[in-house]
A and B are shown apart, each in its own frame.
Chain A
Amino acid sequence: MRVMRLPWRGDDLACRELVELVTDYLEGGLSRRERARVRRHLRACPHCTGYLEQIRLTIRLTGRLRLEDVEAMPAGRRDELLAVFRAARPG
């Protein structure tokens, strides 16, 4: 996502700009030049590096929801749907 450039900062990114580029950065959606700007900022800025780490961890934790308990399909419902299938498409 583009954020307004801060003209007086030249090619440097402000932290406030960087946090808006994090997803494009992770998703490979930046031009080579923008990517280099982000990398340069990250090298010099522990806070933004920490923010990026948090985003990565957030993605990892969100992925855990998949392993969380979706209850197994009730056997009765499975049989019911199989019956609907067989009725609709006699094999």
Chain B
Amino acid sequence: MPRDYTDDDVLVDALLQGDGDAFAWLLDIYDGPLRRLARMYVATDAVAEDVVGDTWVAVIRGLERFERRSSLKTWLFRILMNVARTRGVREHRTVPFSSAAGALEEGAGPAVDPSRFLALDAPQNPGAWAAPPVPWDEKPETTLLAKETLAGIGAAIAELPPAQREVITLRDVEGWSASEVCNALDISETNQRVLLHRARAKVRQACENLLEDEPR
């Protein structure tokens, strides 16, 4: 029976001792998620493949320097993001974070188009919905989960500014906790929430556009 490497200390010790099974375990668990995230930064699967390959090599070379202050998973994704950002910049796909403030402000804006609300100085119900969202509940699950819907969500995420894209990918696609994301991206809880808020609002809007076009 293969060893259980779910404990970070066990895993890192094994890796440092050159345990090939431990590295194979790591590859099998994280190659998919790393590739999914890489795909968010670069234009083609082939380049994403390269980015992940470079990441693994950097992991092998850098193991000694892993200080166990974060989880191995966080460390792994940080390396990937550095490799991917550099590659993405070369491909003009992403813009480097010039400053945390810049990254935060990029793609700022209201969650919902203001024209969908009554004016803030309207005599009655200022700021109330004028064009409220049409519920999706009655959509059959098959429509919601159709390939087109999911592809549309993927495309909407790909179009987000890099900081928003990273946060929503880690939180809502990969299912990381808020504190894991803050850790991996080196951002405050508040900024994490602001970025997540904008990202989710845009993805919701994309879903709305997709599902509204769908004939009932």
Q: Which of A1-35 contact B (CB under 8 A)?
A: 1, 6, 8-9, 14-17, 19-20, 22-24, 27, 29
> Taking the nearest CB of chain A, how far is it from the CB of B14, in angstroms?
9
> Which residues 48-90 in A have Cβ within 8 Å of B in the complex?
48, 50-51, 53-55, 57-59, 61-66, 68, 70, 72-73, 77-78, 81-82, 84-86, 88-90
Which of B5-13, B86-94, B192-200 has 4 or more CB atoms under 8 Å from chain A?
Answer: B192-200
State whether A15 and B127 are in contact (beta carbons under 8 Å apart), knowing that A57-B136, A70-B32 are contacts in the complex: yes
By a CB distance below 8 angstroms, the chain A residues around B100 are: none
For A13, give the chain B residue with the smallest CB separation. Answer: B127
Residues of A within 8 A of B20 (CB): 82, 85-86, 91
Q: Are A89 and B129 in contact (CB under 8 A)?
A: no
Q: Is the CB of A16 within 8 A of B197?
A: no
List of B residues within 8 angstroms of A84 by Cβ:
56-57, 60
Report B-chain residues with C-beta under 8 Å of the C-beta of A78. Answer: 24, 27, 31
> How far apart sit A16 and B202, CA to CA, in the bound complex (Å)?
15
Task: Please state if B200 and A50 are interface contacts (CB–CB under 8 Å).
Answer: no
Q: What residues of chain A lie closer than 8 Å to B114, measured between beta carbons?
A: 16
Chosen A-B contacts, 14 in total, with CB atoms closer than 8 Å, are A1-B194, A14-B126, A16-B128, A19-B112, A19-B201, A23-B196, A47-B128, A50-B133, A51-B132, A54-B135, A55-B204, A57-B144, A63-B172, A72-B32
